[in-house]
Structure 1
Amino acid sequence: MPAPASAPRRGRPPAFDRDEVLAAATRLFWQHGYEATSVTDLTSAMGIRPGSLYAAFGDKESLFEEVVRRYGRSPVGAFVTVALEEEPTAHDAFARILREAAAVYADPSHPAGCLMISAATNVTPQDAGIQDRLRELRNGNLRTFEERLRRARQDGELPPEADPKALAGYFGTVLQGMSQQARDGATTADLTRIAELALRAWP
């Protein structure tokens, strides 16, 4: 008995795999930054025509925003959030964050450092919104750090005189520095030594 005919598909089938082209765009933005990555660079790396890029993503800025959202959900972008959620103490969470950053930032399977720290350098005034967006994401991480450290102080894990805001800023600064060190060639071993030294500042 012949198989029943399948219902016709509506609309045009996708001409490319969205995850694959986003992965290519992510690597390019991560390696070169937003400003230095042109639409021509993107379409070449993604293997699509400019018209397909604009039809699928809107424009370069919208594509970058999707890249950032995708990065934030990936293992290399979400390890900070995961550590804060999974570790029972603030100390364990920040120790895990710093140690995992040493491994993630220097991992040769992708560009060095953190995309959200390095992608918005040297942005021109007309693209300042990108810089502002990434700054707000980074500042959001600092606020999350501070909230976790305030709870740690309330729970007695930190002494009463500890300054959660300053401590959050300290760990944020260390992470940003580790990202840049990785881009300058630091290895996981190099960054791990920095992470362990930074942890000695825990009150």
Structure 2
Amino acid sequence: MKDPTRKTGRPRTFDADTALDNAMKVFWQKGYEGSSLPELTEAMGMNRPSMYAVFGNKENLFRLALERYGVIHDPLLDAALKEPTARGVVEHLLRGNAHTLTGEATPRGCMVINGALACSDDALPIRQSLIDRLAAAEVRLRARFERARDEGDLPPDLLPEQVAKLVTTTSNGIAVQAAAGASREQLQGVVDLVLRSFPSVSPSR
């Protein structure tokens, strides 16, 4: 009897979520342009026609994988922004990044940062989408620090956009260092230094 799965080339046990997770890990480690179709299809357990049929082209697969990555990692920023103090926001976010981006079960570093650094002009739409994602996180941090300043949790002469840029730059640097092999302990030490110099309101205020 003819095997009904031969039309798509997918095995009976095909799981789209698992395949997407595996593609995400390839993109996470090698970036968009560094991930070849043979590497992706092998990791996903699919042939190329099946991949196109289920996920579309490589660009669409990357965007889907990026959404998947966001579902896993965006909660860290969401939780950080709920901290009652600006310092708490920074500590939660940076310590969380230092911990999660040096995990053993996933590629090191950040998929967004890794992808943005590896994109050439030939992949400008992908690069721009990654840059936009980073910018959106910075906007959210800026709004939180504006609130902190208005509530008296930060000095009144402090510019929230500068604080947001400081935190974003540090967070991105942690991601780059993690991808380059820095240990979790080393990165937590960086967070310690940032927190020591983080602006605070004088107790007399």
Identity of aligned residues (%): 35
Superposition RMSD in Å = 1.6
**1:138 Cα deviation after fit:** 0.1
What TM-score do you get using the length of structure 1 for normalisation? 0.89
Partner of 2:79 in structure 1? Answer: 82
Matched residues in 2 for 1:165 and 1:81: separation? 18
The C-alpha deviation readout for 1:4-34, integer Å capped at 9, x for no partner, is xxxxxxxx99851011101110110011111
Partner residue of 1:68 out of 61, 66, 79: 66
Q: Tell me what 1:6 maps to.
A: none
Determine the C-alpha separation between the residues in 2 that align with 1:115 and 1:186. 16
In structure 2, the gaps of 5 or more residues are 1-7, 200-205
Contact 2:141 2:164 in 1 (8 A): yes
Alpha-carbon distance in 2 for matches of 1:113, 1:77: 15
Higher helix share: 2
Q: In structure 1, list runs of 5 or more residues that go unmatched.
A: 1-11
TM-score normalised according to structure 2 size: 0.88
| Match status 1:30 vs 2:40 | no
Equivalence for 1:50: 48
Paired residue total:
190
What letter matches 2:56 in structure 1?
A: G
Matches within 5 A, 1:1-203: 15=12, 16-74=14-72, 76-85=73-82, 87-203=83-199
The question of whether the paired residues in 2 share the 8 Å contact of 1:43 and 1:53 is answered with yes
Query: Residue by residue, what CA displacement relative to the aligned partner does 1:40-72 show, whole Å, maximum 9, x if unpaired?
Result: 110011110111111111111111101111111
Structure 1 counterpart of 2:203: none
Greater CA drift, 51-60 or 149-158: 51-60
Structure 1 residue 126 displacement after superposition: 2.8
The letter of the residue matching 2:42 is S
